[in-house]
Structure 1
Amino acid sequence: MSTVIEQAVEARLVAAEPRMPTIPATLHYDRRDPFAVRMSFPAPATLEGIEVYWTFARELLVHGVERAVGDGDVRVRPYGFDRTVVEFHAPEGTAIVHIRTGDLRRFLHRTMTLVPAGQESRHVDLDQDLAELMRDAC
Structure 2
Amino acid sequence: MNTSAHTSMVVQLHTPGTGRCPVFVHLGYDAADPFAVTAVFAHDGRVLARWRLDREMLAAGLAGPVGVGDVRLRPVGTGAGHELRMEFLGDTRPDGGRQRAVVYAWAPAVAGFLRETHAVVPPGCERAPVDDLLADILAAG
- Interval containing the TM-score (normalised by the shorter chain): 0.7 to 0.9
What residue identity is the alignment partner of 2:119? T
What residue identity is the alignment partner of 1:65? L
Displacement of 1:107 in angstroms is 0.5
Displacement of 1:125 in angstroms is 3.0
Q: 1:96 aligns with which of 102, 127, 140?
A: 102
TM-score (norm 2): 0.81
1:62 aligns with 2:68: no
Query: Percent sequence identity over matched residues?
Result: 31
1:52 aligns with 2:49: yes
1: distance between equivalents of 2:42 and 2:49? Answer: 7
Displacement of 1:50 in angstroms is 4.5
1:89/1:11 Cα in 2 relative to 1: closer, same or farther (>3 Å)?
same
Which secondary structure state, in structure 2, belongs to the residue aligned with residue 21 of structure 1? strand
Which residue of the partner structure matches residue 113 of structure 2? 107
**Aligned residues of 1:60 and 1:75 also touching (Cα < 8 A):** no
Displacement of 1:19 in angstroms is 3.5
Which residue of the partner structure matches residue 126 of structure 1? 130
Which secondary structure state, in structure 2, belongs to the residue aligned with residue 86 of structure 1? strand
**Structure with greater proportional strand content:** 2
Instruction: Return the index of the structure with the highest Cα Rg.
Output: 2
**Structure with greater proportional helix content:** 1
Measured on the aligned residues, the alpha-carbon RMSD in Å equals 2.4
1:49-73: CA deviations, max 9, x gaps?
5452100210111100010001111
1: distance between equivalents of 2:118 and 2:17? Answer: 37
1:28/1:131 Cα in 2 relative to 1: closer, same or farther (>3 Å)?
farther
What residue identity is the alignment partner of 2:105? I
1:24/1:120 Cα in 2 relative to 1: closer, same or farther (>3 Å)?
same
Alignment: residue pair count: 132
Which secondary structure state, in structure 1, belongs to the residue aligned with residue 65 of structure 2? coil
Displacement of 1:30 in angstroms is 0.6
1:28/1:130 Cα in 2 relative to 1: closer, same or farther (>3 Å)?
farther
TM-score (norm 1): 0.83
